[in-house]
Chains A and B, each alone.
Chain A
Amino acid sequence: MYGDLANKLIIEAKRTEQLTQKYLDAALNSDNGGIRNDFNGNETIIPMYNDELIYNILKEVNQLKQNTEYLQHIKQEEEETKDQLKDVLSGHSNDKIRKCQYFVNLLCLERNKRCLMAYQRMRSDIIDKMVWNGLIGSNNMYNNGSKRSGYNELSHYEQEYMSQYKNLIDEMNSESELWSSIEIMGNMNPPSDIFIDIRVLKDIGEIQTEYGTFNFVKDSQFYVRQSDVERLIQQGYVQKI
């Protein structure tokens, strides 16, 4: 029955939505306010692009398209023989039949289109959210080196979309004076205390601030200005007490 494959696709899309929602919620609740840095590369946020199912649905759409062409052909034949028909009533019922067949075909086509579009839209929304979360991006120092998991699960067009979206955001960030002073990719939590106690988790070395130079050795504690160490908290090198 037409439309069954599309249904399967939508069920998968719904499952994906629920999975990603859980993941993004967890990221938002963490202390660094929405930026995940403990990403080990084995987790998959977004499942593989379902090439096979999409291909089958497109085959179905092609079949429906052939149906419409066939119906068109039949209608043309009827038009030609219509003038020779003396029975008006049967002409009417033929019209009815053609109309119904045409509508069923059209509805199946539209249904398939809607399901495909909704699937793609869902995935592109997830890609947008991932870019904003700072998870994926090579020029992003919050990312653990080259672990760009999630990138390989996208189709070719989605990968292109993602890099263009990232470029757009970078452009917006650096374009004018107005935007460069706002940290668009920064922490979601509003600033609270001006000075905070921090504990160093990894050896970083010497950090220079307005108030002097600090030597950040593992397990040492410092009382520093929050805005200075904001980046380090996000990267996971220090922890707020």
Chain B
Amino acid sequence: MSLPKKLQDTFSPKELQFMVENEPIKIFPRFTTRQRINKHSDDILDLYSNRWKMITMPDTALNNMVAMQSTTVTLWIALLLKQQNKCNIIAPEWLTCKALDRAIQFEQNNTRRFSPLPWDWLILSEILFKKAPDDFHDPIHELRSRIQDLREIRQLKVAKGIKYMNESHLQLDNLSILEINELRPFISGIMDKLKEIHLAAVGPEIEGDKEENDGEEIFNGTLRNDSSRQSL
């Protein structure tokens, strides 16, 4: 196969980061791109000379930016503008000390459930800590420590939760994509094996009347007659 074995069944964290960078986020741009259309202007070509055209996303947001008015763009655009000092990123609501504290409280009070954090909380927080540390109201080290706490509590809960694995069903609600990704190879491997064991015991489905098919059991390749098996 052209894809290495490790990547055949799960994503790498870098790929997940790439996916998360496609999400929308609010920013304060520091420059204006919106232009007032002057109906009486003769120079129509000028109107369109500064417009950007994007291939992979709608360009209305980019072309209508007004300085210091919040607008929503994709994350990777926001990061690029931030790097060039052309905008300020607005931290999402769940990424404040208060909200995180509430989430930690929830985790500690409900030992059988996970708090409803957004699906990309871990990845997004790491990206923002690295690229836009000055855009947060609260100091970064406090936010980081809370994120770490959350991660550890959830990991312990997950370890408890996988005790209830059986060959057909396991349900853990509200896990983020990174957490699911790290569990995926382990859980799918174990559940596949449990399924194999279960199917081997139950046997292939035999349609029709059971008695009529007794004579055909020889050809199924199994020895259902216990008397043929003797113990030492």
A contact residues vs B (CB 8 Å cutoff): 21, 24-25, 28, 34, 128-129, 132, 184, 188-195
B15 within 8 A of A: yes
B17 and A25 within 8 A (CB): no
B168 within 8 A of A: no
By a CB distance below 8 angstroms, the chain A residues around B106 are: none
**Beyond A24-B4, A129-B1, 20 additional pairs, beta carbon < 8 A:** A28-B4, A28-B7, A34-B4, A128-B1, A128-B2, A129-B4, A132-B2, A184-B2, A188-B4, A188-B12, A189-B12, A190-B17, A190-B18, A191-B18, A192-B14, A192-B17, A192-B18, A193-B79, A193-B83, A194-B80
What is the bound-complex CA distance between A192 and B18, given in angstroms? Answer: 7
- Nearest Cβ in chain A — how far from B136, in angstroms? 21
B229 within 8 A of A: no
What is the bound-complex CA distance between A193 and B18, given in angstroms? Answer: 10
By a CB distance below 8 angstroms, the chain B residues around A195 are: 83
Give the tally of cross-chain contacts (CB within 8 A).
31
By a CB distance below 8 angstroms, the chain B residues around A25 are: 6
What is the bound-complex CA distance between A34 and B5, given in angstroms? Answer: 12
What is the bound-complex CA distance between A21 and B4, given in angstroms? Answer: 10
A188 and B7 within 8 A (CB): yes
- Nearest Cβ in chain B — how far from A122, in angstroms? 13
What is the bound-complex CA distance between A8 and B181, given in angstroms? Answer: 38
What is the bound-complex CA distance between A208 and B210, given in angstroms? Answer: 78
By a CB distance below 8 angstroms, the chain A residues around B12 are: 188-189
Q: Which residue of B has the minimal Cβ distance to A24?
A: B4
- Nearest Cβ in chain A — how far from B89, in angstroms? 16
By a CB distance below 8 angstroms, the chain B residues around A189 are: 12, 14
Q: Which residue of A has the minimal Cβ distance to B127?
A: A192
A190 and B6 within 8 A (CB): no
**Which of A24, A189, A190, A193 has the most CB atoms of chain B within a 10 A radius of its CB?**
A190
Give me 5 A-to-B residue pairs in the complex whose CB atoms sit less than 8 angstroms apart, sorted by A's number. A25-B6, A28-B4, A128-B2, A188-B4, A193-B83
Q: Which 4 A-B pairs have the closest CB atoms?
A: A190-B18, A132-B2, A28-B4, A189-B14
By a CB distance below 8 angstroms, the chain B residues around A191 are: 18
- Nearest Cβ in chain B — how far from A45, in angstroms? 14
By a CB distance below 8 angstroms, the chain A residues around B2 are: 128, 132, 184
What is the bound-complex CA distance between A184 and B3, given in angstroms? Answer: 10
- Nearest Cβ in chain A — how far from B22, in angstroms? 11
Q: Which residue of B has the minimal Cβ distance to A21?
A: B5
What is the bound-complex CA distance between A192 and B15, given in angstroms? Answer: 10
- Nearest Cβ in chain A — how far from B29, in angstroms? 18
What is the bound-complex CA distance between A203 and B67, given in angstroms? Answer: 45
By a CB distance below 8 angstroms, the chain A residues around B83 are: 193, 195
What is the bound-complex CA distance between A193 and B6, given in angstroms? Answer: 24
What is the bound-complex CA distance between A28 and B12, given in angstroms? Answer: 11
What is the bound-complex CA distance between A188 and B15, given in angstroms? Answer: 9
What is the bound-complex CA distance between A101 and B128, given in angstroms? Answer: 73
- Nearest Cβ in chain A — how far from B53, in angstroms? 17
What is the bound-complex CA distance between A191 and B79, given in angstroms? Answer: 14
By a CB distance below 8 angstroms, the chain A residues around B5 are: 21, 24
- Nearest Cβ in chain A — how far from B177, in angstroms? 15
- Nearest Cβ in chain B — how far from A16, in angstroms? 15
What is the bound-complex CA distance between A34 and B2, given in angstroms? Answer: 11
